[in-house]
Chain A
Amino acid sequence: MGTPRSCAVALGATFLLAISAFGIPPDTPEFTFGAAGDFGTGRAFKATVGAVQQRNPDFFIALGDLTQSSTGEEAWCRYWNDHLTSTRLLIVPGNHDTDIARYVRYCGSPFQAMITGTYPWQYYFDYPPATPLGRFIVVSPSIANGVPVVTDYSAGTPGFAFVANAIDNARRSGLKWVIVSMHKNYIATFVKRNEVSTDRGRTFMTMLLDKKVDLILQGHEHGYARSKQLTTNPSTCPVLPVNTFNDACVVDGDNDLVKGAGTVIQIISTGGKGLRLVERSDSEHQYFVDNFRDADSETWGFGEFTVTPTELSFSFVRSAGQGFNESFRIKEQHFTEEMSPRHRGVSEQRE
């Protein structure tokens, strides 16, 4: 017969055993989310929805250009709603989503109690709700389709302040990860130009890189591209330049990245629309990991992220086509004197 005291001792011992065996408390929060953009309504879109259904992430961020049809919002949302098991679908407005309010009406507005800002144009939420690990910020730079917020995010605008404050507040609150999503691109390696940070000082993107947000997710370009880990620094990369390449802005280009050292910009426009060929003739191509081949332009799917307190890992989940594989991780690491100056660049953050 166990007494209450012996029971408590047994529970405590089990807890300690779990920590020693796995290195983490047994109730450590961990979650998954998915992301992709540029869907349409064709076969590849349906395959991508099927892949999301199968993987069943906690939520999915649709990175804009949802159907590009002026009448298809209801059918598009119904297809998602009919196939998702428990995944919540969040929307980022794209330039071709001419009536985004209809998507909200038919797709719904998840996480309403958790959202700060104006869904779906400019908002953020923390996840998981009970013990948040990450702050997810959604913005709409240069989206002009009847958007009720100012979509110029240059310094001094309400959007700039909203994002800067959301990041600073997340850091102060001890949130481990900050992830910013938008539809349009800043640097790209297909056919698009900078449409995100268009003032002369590129102040919006400079702010995001100065603050070392962990990840920026985008759609717009039809294809997949993951930037190397990038950062600004006052001496050799005060601004990440577009239409050219500055090697001094690159922290790390492999698949094992150090948290806090910089920002990864990830274009995941593989939701269903026809895919473009990577342009290696684009100067900005050198900012990206060169792994999406011409043959991969028949590969669709979505990005799946697994988030823990110490690691954010990514893998590309194919829904149609074959051949393309991609994974990387950003891992917390304590800086030591032996680490490269580039990794230690985290301490050079502009104040």
Chain B
Amino acid sequence: MYAFCPLRRWVPLSLLVVLFSGLAGSGGGARLQAVSPVPGAPQEPQIATDPGFRELKGALLEGIPEFPAYPGATLIGSAERNRPDEKNRGYRIKWTTVDRPARVMAWYAKTLPRSGWTYVPDDDPEEEDELEAKIANATFSGYLEAETEDYPNRELTDIVVVLARK
């Protein structure tokens, strides 16, 4: 009856806190962001990263280019898109926020060009729940998306950035 366990939401949260504590202690070569609790974090990882690929929960991997973090968003994690012994294929990063996708994307539309990134939104102005944009800088191209997701106790917006090395 795990589904009805009143503490189930706190199990992954506890793991996240323990993992973050370990990373913060070791440094891990990563640029750490402040990690706040994730209310209603999903029961399973958003992406089931193959153990052969580097991934950091709650932190940015070393090598990820400067990319603005949405104010107040919770960093869930980052991962490489290649194995350590392969050519660098880029990275993915994920945050969550309580703000709606339109607000998130409006902020990025304004902020990214100031940070050396191009921002080209999808040509669908009526969309509300799931917004995407192509992004690029001198080294990477990829996409940014903000999508509402039903988490166990409330709706949040996932912010996902996927960068492919040019």
Q: Which residues of A contact B (CB under 8 A)?
A: 40-43, 45, 65, 67-72, 95-96, 98, 142, 144, 191-194, 198-200, 222, 242-245, 272-274, 276-277, 279-285, 294, 297
Contacts and interface: CB of A to CB of B under 8 A. Distances in A.
Interface string B31-51: 000000000001111111111
A76 B86 CA distance: 44
A194 B160 CA distance: 17
A281 B83 CA distance: 8
B62 interface: no
Nearest to B101: A68
Given A193-B46, A277-B164, A283-B48, A42 B128 contact: no
B142 to A, nearest CB: 7
A70 B44 contact: no
Contact of A281 (B42, B49, B126): B49
A95 B47 contact: no
Contacts of B92: 191, 279
A98 B42 CA distance: 21
A96 B129 contact: yes
A68 B45 contact: no
B2 A200 contact: yes
Interface in B2-59: 2-3, 42-51, 53, 55
B79 to A, nearest CB: 6
Interface string B48-76: 11110101000000000000000000000
Contact of A144 (B46, B132, B150): B150
A282 B143 contact: no
Contact of A70 (B128, B143, B162): B128
The 8 A-B residue pairs whose C-beta atoms are closest, nearest first, are: A243-B48, A274-B132, A281-B53, A42-B124, A69-B126, A42-B123, A40-B124, A96-B129
Contact of A199 (B3, B53, B81, B134): B3
A271 B90 CA distance: 26
A142 B126 CA distance: 25
A281 B82 contact: yes
Q: Chain B, interface size: which category?
A: 35 or more
B128 A68 contact: yes
Contacts of A281: 47, 49-50, 53, 55, 79-83
A273 B48 contact: no
B122 A283 contact: no
Given A96-B129, A243-B44, 8 more contacts: A41-B124, A43-B123, A69-B128, A191-B160, A200-B2, A245-B50, A277-B143, A277-B162
B164 to A, nearest CB: 5
Contact of A193 (B45, B124, B134): B45
Given A193-B48, A198-B43, A274 B142 contact: no
A144 B123 CA distance: 27
Interface string B67-111: 000000000000111110000010010100000000000000000
A281 B89 CA distance: 10
B126 A67 contact: yes
A68 B130 contact: yes
B148 A96 contact: yes
Nearest to A192: B46
Given A199-B3, A279-B92, A244 B48 contact: yes
6 contacts: A42-B123, A45-B124, A69-B127, A191-B92, A242-B48, A280-B50
Contact of A273 (B79, B128, B132): B132
B130 A72 contact: no
A216 to B, nearest CB: 19
A142 B2 CA distance: 17
Interface string B111-140: 000000000001110111110111000000
Contacts of B79: 281
Given A281-B49, A283-B48, A65 B130 contact: yes
A283 B123 contact: no
Contacts of A297: 143
* B46, B47, B127, most chain A CB atoms within 10 A: B47
Contacts of B2: 200
Nearest to A279: B47
A241 to B, nearest CB: 10
Nearest to A38: B130
A244 B50 CA distance: 7
